[in-house]
């Protein structure tokens, strides 16, 4: 019975990839081994003879498959009968990476030299990567929404890592290059550890499987210990996030990874009942109605100078009406100075430690805030 289960898993995943019955029988064997993923909901990994099958579920229609990848070692011949899917030769040695999030992870996995090109360079805040750009070891492929196709062609990358979006209409000319597109749907996971666990997939892509498994084990252990520590506090504080942007205030949906972190920190997120996993736009009035009396306000911004209460009120006078503003319980992160976006997606334990210290300062022993600091009053620094 134990030998039959891996075979059934390989057969099932191959069916999801849309192959014929004959292909499914040929592409699997009793030696197939499903990699156990504890948290990721949109990713399945199965090691079959001669290749690894990676199935990415569609986050917007979970009954469908977004993409199927067949990872085959570049120094090995292609197996005779592969199921339907995108063949990716591993390890990747020259990839174009759209996001600083994944660039940062690759640095942590010791695979930074495998980045051959990037998009949105102005948002890349990794010193080692910037140095490689300066030395022309990494190509600037332009804006991720309109990449420089000619530059990509000159680069001859072995894959492009990009983020899928609902109803995006595809990826334009990039899809016509014949280069494997790795759809990084990790950001749509509904738990912080679920997103972080995708590092195991990226480790397989870049020949850093052992490093990724080891790093995730550390993240998982630290996160669970912090979550347990939060439960030891008797305090219960309500919290809300972010700032108004033009006419809308985008807040994390109630099923988003950020909502999950606040819940794991034993904070009462005011939009926890929302059913979305991404950001949700609300009017100022709606946010004020739900969060006007919240205990803690946490947000991010990007400025050369750190923001103060006076700056916040000058930006929008209505902010001054919130209880958290009046009682000076606002914590902010200047992403222009700290690597918040680069680190937190795959190190949610770092972020949870900050939230614990903000929501439960009575616990202590967590070493100080890494990303956030209490907003300052002009002339009365805190």
Q: Which alpha helices (H) appear in the chain, and where do they start and end?
A: 4-16, 21-27, 100-108, 127-134, 149-155, 192-196, 199-205, 209-230, 257-264, 284-291, 309-315, 323-326, 340-343, 348-359
Pick the CATH number of 234-374 from 3.40.50.2000, 3.40.50.1980, 3.40.1260.10, 3.30.450.70: 3.40.50.1980
SS3 242: coil
pLDDT above 70 covers a percentage of the chain that reads 91
Pinpoint the residues of the chain covered by CATH 3.40.50.1980.
Answer: 234-374
What's the confidence (pLDDT) of residue 166?
Answer: 83
Residues 74-84 pLDDT 10s: 999 999 889 99
Per-residue pLDDT averaged across 299-322, rounded?
96
Sign of the Cα pseudo-torsion (187, 17, 210, 72, in order): negative
Per-residue pLDDT averaged across 298-327, rounded?
96
Edge-first strand listing for the sheet containing 296-301? 268-269, 238-241, 296-301, 330-334, 373-374
What's the confidence (pLDDT) of residue 215?
Answer: 98
Q: Is the pTM of this model over 0.75?
A: yes
Per-residue pLDDT averaged across 34-52, rounded?
95
What's the confidence (pLDDT) of residue 30?
Answer: 33
What's the confidence (pLDDT) of residue 377?
Answer: 86
For helices 209-230 and 348-359, give the axis angle rounded to 10 degrees: 10
Q: Is the pLDDT of residue 44 over 60?
A: yes
Nearest to 339 by CA among 156, 36, 195, 128: 128
Residues 129-174 pLDDT 10s: 999 999 999 999 999 889 999 999 999 999 999 999 887 778 888 9
What's the confidence (pLDDT) of residue 298?
Answer: 98
For residue 6, what pLDDT band results from cuts at 50, 70 and 90? very low
For residue 31, what pLDDT band results from cuts at 50, 70 and 90? low
Q: Average pLDDT of the chain?
A: 90
Q: Is the pLDDT of residue 228 over 50?
A: yes
Q: Is the pLDDT of residue 10 over 60?
A: no
Residues 6+ apart with CB under 8 A from 291: 238, 240, 270, 297, 322
Lowest average pLDDT, out of 25-39, 46-60, 149-163, 207-221, goes to: 25-39
What's the confidence (pLDDT) of residue 20?
Answer: 32
Q: Is the pLDDT of residue 40 over 50?
A: yes
What's the confidence (pLDDT) of residue 170?
Answer: 82
What's the confidence (pLDDT) of residue 17?
Answer: 41
């Amino acid at each position: 019975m134990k030998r039959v289960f891996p075979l059934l898993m390989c057969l099932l995943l191959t069916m999801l990839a849309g192959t014929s019955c004959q292909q499914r029988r040929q592409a699997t064997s009793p030696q197939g081994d499903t990699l156990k993923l504890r948290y990721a909901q949109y990713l399945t990994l199965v090691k079959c003879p001669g290749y690894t099958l990676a199935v990415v579920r569609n986050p917007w229609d979970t009954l469908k498959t977004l993409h199927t990848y067949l990872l085959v070692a570049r120094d090995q011949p292609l197996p005779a009968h592969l199921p339907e899917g995108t063949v990716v030769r591993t390890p990747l040695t020259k990839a174009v990476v759209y996001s600083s999030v994944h660039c940062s992870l690759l640095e942590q996995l010791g695979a930074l030299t495998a980045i051959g090109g990037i998009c949105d360079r102005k948002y890349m805040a990794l010193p080692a990567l910037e140095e490689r750009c300066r030395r022309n070891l990494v190509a600037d492929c332009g804006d991720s929404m309109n990449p420089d196709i000619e530059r990509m062609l000159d680069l001859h990358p072995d894959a492009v890592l990009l983020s899928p979006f609902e109803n995006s209409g595809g990826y334009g000319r990039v899809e016509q290059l014949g280069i494997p597109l790795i759809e990084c749907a990790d950001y749509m996971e509904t738990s912080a550890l679920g997103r972080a666990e995708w590092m195991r997939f990226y480790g397989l892509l870049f020949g850093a499987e052992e490093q990724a498994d080891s790093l995730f084990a550390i993240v998982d252990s630290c996160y669970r210990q912090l979550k347990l520590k939060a439960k030891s506090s008797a305090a219960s504080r309500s919290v809300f996030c972010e700032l108004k942007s033009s006419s809308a205030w985008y807040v994390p949906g109630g099923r988003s990874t950020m909502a999950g972190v606040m819940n794991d920190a034993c904070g009462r997120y005011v939009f926890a009942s929302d059913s979305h996993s991404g950001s949700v736009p609300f009017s100022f009035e709606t946010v004020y109605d739900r969060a006007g009396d919240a205990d803690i306000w946490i947000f991010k911004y990007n400025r050369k100078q750190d923001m103060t209460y006076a700056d916040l009120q000058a930006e929008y006078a209505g902010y001054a009406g919130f209880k958290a503003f009046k009682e000076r319980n606002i914590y902010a992160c200047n992403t222009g100075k700290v690597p918040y976006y680069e680190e937190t997606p795959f190190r949610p334990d770092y972020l949870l430690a900050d939230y614990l210290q903000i929501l439960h300062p009575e616990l202590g022993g967590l070493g100080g805030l890494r990303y956030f600091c209490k907003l300052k009053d002009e002339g009365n620094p805190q």
